[in-house]
Amino acid sequence: MERETIFKVCMKLLTLILGIACITIGTIYLDSCTKQYMIPIFLIVSGSTTIFFLMISLIPCPPNDESNNSNLLKIGRVCDRLELLFSTIWFIAGNVWIYSIYKPEYIDQSSPDYCNKTLYLFAFWSTTVIYILFALMLFLGFCACVLGGTAWIRRSDG
């Protein structure tokens, strides 16, 4: 197997594990956050849609040539855009629900500010890690552009 294939398989497995973890934590602690009841729902929906879209991505697509049905390709593009739109809106909503209650009450379950510590910290850190990974990808992309750009300039000068 080539490196790219191994990387893709590992990323899909990590995505699957994260989706299962989100569903599990959200379900176990469904009624455990008085301060913001949407956090476990956010995790369940996020995990479910992540696994759903992951499964859809495993469906083999026909090559993009004139012999294929163009309507099928258009439907696929529309679905991709709807997935991106939904995921973006849901992620932003989750950010509002999670970060707006920082730091909830972890001990007194009768408090209106209570949120289960495991639930909250899982939601908080899984969301924060997404930002960290996004920043890392932007940084690496920037470095690739700069290094690739300078290599291109050196080749075109010589």
Query: Per the structure, how many domains does the chain have?
Result: 1
Structural domain of residue 119, as residue ranges? 3-59+67-157
* Pair 49, 90: CB distance under 8 Å: yes
* pLDDT at residue 158 tops 70: no
Phi then psi dihedrals of residue 64, to 5 deg: -85, 85
Name the DSSP class of 67.
T
Residue bearing the bigger pLDDT, 149 or 93: 93
Residue 46 sits at φ, ψ, to 5 deg, of -60, -45
CA distance 88 to 102: 21
The pTM score is: 0.82
Task: State pLDDT tens for residues 94-109.
Answer: 999 999 999 999 999 9
Give the tens place of pLDDT for each residue, 69-103.
Answer: 677 677 778 888 988 999 999 999 999 999 999 99
